[in-house]
Structure 1
């Protein structure tokens, strides 16, 4: 039996992580979403709890998803983690988690310009689902200031919307 793969997505809010994760789930991977777990536990961002409490509320959701990821990989299932992994230290920790249970981590980077994100987020800000956290232009500036794009030595694959890349990820 080949080792299960954990596709770990890297990208700022609005970069297309959920769209790609859903496409990969349609190809048989199990999709794990931190945002959906936060929504399940606490409700809507900025509605059921104040926006400034998101990271505090996110921490237990991350651990729940990490446990699910371990269990799925141990059982031989491949997964896609629908979570931004903005910092290299977070990416390193998730890769370590994957390897510890016999999985193969694959980092996939979804780059996006600030202009493209503002266009996408304007439409998304109107939605009310768990994957539609409202993001203002000022918040997006803050996100870019905190985001650490992957470096060449991390071995991340850059996803640019090419369906062939999806097929190559789900081998």
Structure 2
């Protein structure tokens, strides 16, 4: 049964870096932000910020379709998408199960201070993963974020890839 690793974290928490590392270990990486960038350019530069969600919606649906096809084909997936809302996480977990995959949620916690530091560096870039985020926008993100329940079904990523790979291996064989 293929794994569907669903990354959970606020902008700047390290989801893309982790997704790229998992891709290096054979996971098929699906990135909503990169696809929006490929189709529409830079957020707030090539199109108005207030139009982001209308541009993102069809991209999420296309990625959801590819997500299912990859799992049906037996490929392990890593979804590089924030999954801020509990209902969104639940829907993606169900989509993984419906496609014959085993969903695993990996949470990347980060403090506001750490995120501000990372975002200040990232805001200087202009690539697909360099969404410019102000401190006020970050506060808004935190206000809209549903933290995960501490129910034992979520892996908390501490920055140690080897530990995560071992946990994923355990999930693959236990199907918790």
Could you say which TM-score interval applies, normalised by the shorter chain?
Answer: over 0.9
Rounded Cα–Cα distance in structure 1 between residues aligned with 2:157 and 2:163: 7
1:58 aligned to 56, 59, 68, which one?
56
Q: What is the aligned partner in structure 1 of residue 14 from structure 2?
A: 16
List gaps (5 residues or longer) in structure 2. none
- Structure 1 segments unaligned to the other structure (5+ residues): none
Matched residue, 1:146: 144
Task: Give a deviation string over 1:107-144, Cα, whole Å, max 9, x none.
Answer: 00000000000000000001010011000000000000
Q: Which residue of 1 aligns with 2:65?
A: 67
TM-score (ref. length: structure 1) = 0.96
Distance 2:25 2:47 in 1: 35
Q: State the shift of 1:43 in Å.
A: 1.1
Q: Number of matched residues?
A: 169
CA RMSD, Structure 1 to Structure 2 (Å): 1.1
| TM-score, normalised relative to structure 2 | 0.93
Contact 1:24 1:166 in 2 (8 A): no
Runs of 4+ in 1 over 3 A off after TM superposition: none
Q: Secondary structure at the match of 1:132?
A: coil
